[in-house]
Amino acid sequence: MNAFARLLLCTALSGLALGAQARTFEVSDFAELDDAVIEAEDGDEIVIKKGVYELEAPLEIFSRVTVRGEQGAVIDAGGRGSGFIVRVPKVRIENLTVRNYGGDLYARDAGVMVGDGADGTELVNLTLQGPGFGVRADRMNALVVEGCTIEGDAARHVLDRGDGIFLSYVKNARLNHNSLRNVRDGYYLENVDAAKSDFNYFTGAQYGIHYMYTRDCTATGNRAVGVRGGYALMSSDRVTLTKSYSSRNIEFGILLNVADGCLVEENTVEGVHNSKGRAALDNEGKGIFIYGPGKSRVTRNWIAESDIGIGVALGGEGNVLWDNAFVDNQIQVRYVGETPLEWSFEGRGNYWSTNLGWDVDHDGISDRAYQPNDSLDRIFWIYPEARFLMDSPVTALLRWLASQFEIDRGKGVTDSHPLVRPPVGPDVHEIKTDNAKNKEPAK
């Protein structure tokens, strides 16, 4: 090797050595922060000291850096645009409050906007407050959002707010231990694959988690309280929703709308009630609502004290239901389709608090099949103006005669193996760990 070649090699190695020495930028005002964002290189860290940093424009990250706030560090976006825009992979932003970002949803205003290809972005322990999206990510992989609090603008109509987290064409996202309030949807996932959403809390939103055209996503240990609908699985395949809780909602606890190959297991839904609901419009609150074709499994769920325990419409007959508990719902089942449905599986049906059957052989299965509703119920649903007759003596007599002569056999919903005791309790959703982050936050 000649001298010139050795010089080139030494220069290159020296440059690599210098590049490997990550720098730390400590900033205490906006000018220093702006300079640090521009000057930082891959592997560097930017530490933001306590204080309020009023932005003149979004902070755009073009290097693979860590941005970390000390306690009390606040980024104020000035009511326009986004707080951060991440342009490259492997960026981590943590321990910051980002507030007052814009509310132009068409411009994708967000607390943190994650751009195309910014794979592996990590957003940890952030507080995001603004009318736009909390986090917006498009066409990237392996996003992590963990331990964040996201709050929208309660003064806006719910449909005019940004979603807490909006993902489009994202794979392998991890959305865990977050708390979201007063946003449009807590999580809106569109054309997303293999997202994992665990131990999150949603309130004051349209839906807690809203899946659209997603595949192979899972959600465990979530809580949706005081939203319009808890968990919406729409036009999605192989979504698993387990051990999650939905309470005091208006439209539904769990929605399966053209959802195929999904598993809904060990969830609790309580108190779904629409004060403006009308039978003629079929808009009463439903614990579970199955709408449109699809074949999914629904098992070991507790559905209680709702306007309607479960509603089925427009081709939702392909689903399998067993080992669920339907307890003290005003109407246990609403189904007006023509296809007879059997709601049991391998000799086990569901528990119905309205079933007065008996169990002579003490095997836990009622000795007589149960139909949660009959032909008279279907007449009242089709002609709601006649509902005032539901509790009349004549109707009671007709129901008794129908049961004695099995007039309704082969019609509507039949559970051939109804359970005499609930297979699960209202705490079926609870995961037996000391996980404080899964508890409802104080208001």
User: Residue 297: which of 332, 340, 338, 343 has the closest Cα?
Assistant: 343
Whether residue 368 lies inside any domain: the answer is no
State whether the Cα torsion 392-394-398-403 is positive or negative. Answer: positive
Domain that holds residue 80: 24-317
Whether residue 378 lies inside any domain: the answer is no
Whether residue 50 lies inside any domain: the answer is yes
220 has a pLDDT exceeding 80 = yes
Tokens of 109: 């205003």
CATH number, domain containing residue 202: 2.160.20.10
β-bridge pairing 66-69 and 73-76: unpaired
Return the axis-axis angle of helices 393-405 and 375-382, rounded to nearest 10°.
Answer: 130
pTM of the model: 0.87
Whether residue 362 lies inside any domain: the answer is no
Q: What's the pLDDT at 409? A: 55
Average predicted confidence (pLDDT) for the chain: 89
Q: What's the pLDDT at 263? A: 99
Q: What's the pLDDT at 123? A: 99
Burial of 416 (0-12, 13-18, 19+ CB in 10 A): middle
Whether residue 238 lies inside any domain: the answer is yes
User: Residue 227: which of 294, 163, 191, 182 has the closest Cα?
Assistant: 182
Whether residue 192 lies inside any domain: the answer is yes
Q: What's the pLDDT at 391? A: 53
Q: What does the pLDDT look like over 287-332, one tens digit per residue?
A: 999 999 899 999 999 999 999 999 998 888 899 999 999 999 999 9
Q: For residues 351 and 433, which has the higher predicted lDDT (pLDDT)? A: 351
Q: How confident is the model at residue 90 (pLDDT cuts 50, 70, 90)?
A: very high
Q: What's the pLDDT at 13? A: 40
Whether residue 114 lies inside any domain: the answer is yes
Q: What does the pLDDT look like over 114-145, one tens digit per residue?
A: 999 999 999 999 999 999 999 999 999 999 99
82 has a pLDDT exceeding 50 = yes
The residue type at 348: R
Q: What does the pLDDT look like over 371-417, one tens digit per residue?
A: 887 554 554 445 554 444 445 564 454 444 455 445 445 568 999 99
Q: For 51, what's the count of Cα atoms within 13 Å in the CB-facing half-sphere?
A: 13
1 has a pLDDT exceeding 90 = no
Whether residue 331 lies inside any domain: the answer is no
Average pLDDT of the residues in 250-279: 96
189 has a pLDDT exceeding 50 = yes
Q: What angle do CA 237, 238, 242 make, to 5 degrees?
A: 130
Are the CB atoms for 134 and 110 separated by under 8 Å? yes
Count structural domains, the chain. Answer: 1
